[in-house]
Structure 1
Amino acid sequence: MAIENNNVVTLNYTLHTIEDNGEKTFVEQTTTENPLTFLYGVGMMLPKFEENIGGLLVGDKTSFQLAAVDAYGERDDRAIAQLPADMFQESGLPPVGEILPLQDNQGNQFRAVVMEVTPEAVVADLNHPMAGKTLNFDIEILAVRPATDEELAHGHSHGEDGTEGH
């Protein structure tokens, strides 16, 4: 079965970023024991990621690159926030480099990286950690199946066999 909208896709991937000098930097990798499973065509994945795997079959392998504009966007040097130190009274001030889970007024969740900590504020970079990066994916398709009615109603995959959480 070829990958198309409303299919549940299970795949393995290896992700590298491509540096300005052309060198690859390893980011992450899935395993056959813990693959990526998602509902194709409902906006869960980067559109260009889906475009590159559409029509593939189980066993197919592919490699592709996504420019920053097609992945997580370019870095915005203005996307820096000064978070008041008293926000961290309960948890304590985070160390530089820590990733903070944040939520905006609309309930959207995102992550920010701590750049600096002072007694008054925590300076955080709100750019996605992969912003400004060219991404290189090596993909192997492990399984493709039609989504169940419940998965379609929920808008996400319930795992490789459709029964996750039951």
Structure 2
Amino acid sequence: MTQAKKGDKVQVNYKGYLDDGTIFDSSEGKKPLDVVLGSGTVIPGFDAALVGMEVGSRKTVKIPMDDAYGKHNAELVMQVPKDQIPPDLKPEIGQKLQVGGAAGELMAVEVIDLTDDFIVLDANPPLSGKDLTFDLELVAIA
């Protein structure tokens, strides 16, 4: 049987979960995920786990944070004075926002704390600092 290799377009069903069993993403009830192996469109550990799989094969793989979204970077946590946010914005902990970065790019952030004077924003990917586990099923190699 043919094994998936770098450059192949593959379709994969997956379920991703954290060490505590919380499911953070799944293809269940959706079309399989299309991935071109080696293209950088998915996290490195997910990509590497698909290489060598055959159509119809399944496996479970644990991906350490360094091969997923990396370590949590304290430099991406910022305190913004409340007087610098739009007056119509009523931030709440857990709220997702987009803010302008230093070079004018948009950054996705999450409100992680509120004080009397500041709103604390985290621009790290939500899964940074976490080891991830995936159940994988290779559906097709194109």
TM-score w.r.t. structure 1 length? Answer: 0.71
Question: Structure 2: 5+ residue runs without aligned partners?
Answer: none
Work out whether 1:27 is the aligned partner of 2:24: yes
Secondary structure of the 1:51 match is: helix
1:11 Cα deviation from its structure 2 partner: 1.0
After superposition, the C-alpha distances for 1:48-85 in whole angstroms (9 at most, x for unaligned) are 22111102121111111011122111223343112354
**Cα deviation per residue 1:61-112 (whole Å; 9 max; x = unaligned)?**
1111011122111223343112354665286233210122345455765432
Aligned to 1:131: 128
Query: What amino acid is aligned across from residue 125 of structure 1 in structure 2?
Result: D
Q: Residue type matched to 2:137 in 1?
A: E
Q: SS at 1:24's partner residue?
A: coil
Residue type of the alignment partner of 1:135: L
Name the counterpart of 1:69. 66
Give the residue type in structure 1 aligned to 2:9. V
State the superposition RMSD in angstroms. 2.5
Question: Identity of counterpart residues, as a percentage?
Answer: 26
AA aligned opposite 2:4: I
- Cα distance in 1 for partners of 2:33, 2:54 equals 16
Is 1:113 the counterpart of 2:101? The answer is no
Q: Does 2:66 align with 1:97? A: no
Q: Which runs of 4+ in 1 moved over 6 A?
A: none
1:4 alignment partner in structure 2: 5
Q: Distance in 2 between matches of 1:85 and 1:142?
A: 50
TM-score (norm 2): 0.81
> How many correspondences in the alignment?
141
Q: 1:125 to 1:34 in 2, by over 3 A?
A: same
Unaligned runs of 5+ in 1: 146-166
CA distance in 2 between partners of 1:56 and 1:15 (Å): 18
Partner of 1:124, secondary structure, is: strand
